[in-house]
Amino acid sequence: MTSAYQQLVDHFQQLYRLDHLAAICHWDQATMMPAGSNEARSEAMAELALIRHRRLTAPEVGDWLDAVVPHSLDTSQRANVREMRRVWRQATVLPEALVRAQSLAGARCEHAWRDQRKQNDWSGFAVNLREVVKLSREEASVRAQANGGGRYDSLLDLYEPGMTAARLDTLFGDIAGWLPELSQEIIARQSGETCTRSTGPFPVESQRALGLRVMSQLGFDFQCGRLDISAHPFCGGVPEDVRITTRYTDDDFTVGLMGVIHETGHGCYEQNLPVNWRGQPAGQARSMGIHESQSLLFEMQLGRHAAFLHWLAPLLAESFGDAVSPLLASDNLQRLYTRVKPGLIRVDADEVTYPCHVMLRYEIERALIEGNIEVNDIPELWDQKMQAGLGLSTAGDYRNGCMQDIHWTDGGFGYFPTYTLGAMYAAQLFAALSRDLGGLETLLREGDLRPLSDWLRERVWHRGSLLEAPELMREATGEELNPVWFRRHLEHRYLAR
C-alpha cells in the first residue's frame, strides 16, 4: 500500500509539471506571442490555473497530509511536508471563481500595460488596474480571515513566508533613519569626481553577445535555459528550463548588461536548487527575498565590484571598440557603475537610492490593499513620495512614474518589499562568503567565480526550502537577517575609497 507521504510526493510532482507549462506560457506571452493572441492565451492560462487549483485543493490532499506519520520521515521529508502544508493552506482558502477571475484580470491588465505605458495612458491603465486591485483585496480579505492576520500580511506571506508589515516597518525604518544622510554624503563626494560616459551607439547584437559571454562566466547553463528580450526583465521557467529576459537601449549598454547579470543571479539559483528534491515544495526557492538576494548579489555586490569590472573591461573593448574606449581609462568604469544619482526608474536605480523606490511602493500598495487609498489616488501620492524621498517629480509622467513596473498588473501585491529584503540578505551573504573564501578580489580580477558559486551552492542554492529563511541565514552567515550588513556594505564601497 502506497504511503500517504508517497501519494503527496506523486501529487506535487504532477503540480510541478503544470507549473512548468504555466511558466513557459507566461514567458511566451511576454516575449514573442502575437498581440492578437492575448485574449485566447489569457483564457487558456486561466483554465490552466483553475486545473492546478483543483488538483492542489482536492479533498484527498488534506486527507494525505493528515495521515502522514512524522516519526516515519527523516528531517528533509518532514521539511517537505511542512512546505506542502503551507502551499496547500494558501490554496484551499481561495474559491475557484476568484482564482479564474484573477488570472484573467492579470493577463489582460499586463498585456494592455505594454502599450498603455508607452502612450503614458494612465486613465486606460487605471480601468484594468481597478479590477486587479478589487480582486486582490478580495483575496487578501479571504486569506486574512482564514489565517487570523492582517490583509496586507496575508499577501506578503505568499512571497516572504513569516514576514509581517510590522517587521518590515522596523527594518525599513532603520534604513530610512540613515540612508538619506548617507546618500547626500556620497553624492557630495562624487560631485568632485570626473565620470566619463559614452552614448555609443552600442549595437543590440553586440550587447546580446556580450551578455551571453558574461552569463557563461557566471555559471549559467545554456543547456537548460536561454536569454530573450521583454518589456520588463524577468527570470521564469523551472530549474530544468530557465528563461531569462532583458531589455536593451543602443545608447547605454549598462542597462541590458546589468539586467542580464541580475537575472542570471536568479537563473543560477534556480538551476542549482537541490536535484534530489526537484518537483517538490522543499526543492523550490526559499522565498522571493532570498531569490532577490541572489540576483542582487550578482548585480550589485559582484557586478559592480572594482575587481570584477577589471575583468569585464577587456570584454567591453572587444564588444564595442572605440564606442567604449572613453569609459575604460583609469578607474572610470568603476565610477560609472557606482554613480549615485536619484532617478525615476527603479530598475535603473543605483544600489544606494534603490531602497527609496521600494519603500515608496510598499507604502502605496499596503495602503491600497488595506483600503486606505484608491487607484485614482496613486499618481498624486507617487509624486509626493518621489519628491520627498528622491527630490524628483513624476507629475503627469505616468510612464516613468506609477506605470513603470509590471508587478501590480497581475496582482503581485506584497512582492516589492522583497527587493530591499533581498539587498539586505545579499550584503550579509556577501560579507560571509568574502570572510570564508579570502582572496576574493584576486579571484574576481581573474574572472574565477567558481569558489563563489561553490559557496553559494553549498550554503544557499542546494538548500532550497529545506530550511526556513532565518535558519538558512544562521547557517550561512552565523546570524539571522541583520540590516547592519547592508549599511556596512554601502559605507565601505562608497566612502572608504
Catalytically active residues, by annotation:
263
Q: The sheet that has 235-238: what strands, in order across it?
A: 225-229, 241-246, 235-238
Residue 228, phi then psi, degrees to nearest 5: -140, -175
Residue 237 in 3-state DSSP? Answer: strand
CA distance 133 to 113: 15
Q: How many CB atoms lie under 10 A from the CB of residue 475?
A: 12
CA distance 440 to 443: 5
Beta strands in 376-427 (DSSP E): none
Instruction: Report the relative pairing of strands 235-238 and 241-246 from DSSP bridges.
Output: antiparallel
CA distance 311 to 447: 6
Alpha helices in 160-203 (DSSP H): 165-190
Q: Calculate the dihedral angle through the C-alpha atoms of 110, 114, 115, 116, rounding to the nearest 10 degrees.
A: 60
Q: How many CA atoms lie within 13 A of 386 on its CB side?
A: 20
Residue 358 grid cell: 521600494
Instruction: Report the relative pairing of strands 235-238 and 225-229 from DSSP bridges.
Output: unpaired
CA distance 44 to 50: 10
**What is each CA distance from 162 to 78, 114, 155, 470, in whole angstroms?**
18, 33, 11, 10
CA distance 109 to 127: 9
CA distance 161 to 288: 9
> Are 309 and 337 in contact, with CB atoms under 8 Å apart?
yes
CA dihedral for 461, 463, 466, 469, sign (positive or negative): negative
CA distance 454 to 415: 28
* Element at 134 (helix H, strand E): helix 122-147
CA distance 275 to 278: 5
CA distance 58 to 289: 30
Burial 118-157 (b: 16+ CB within 10 A, else e): eeebbeebbebbebbbebbbebbebbbeeeeebbbbbbbb
Residue 280 in 3-state DSSP? Answer: coil
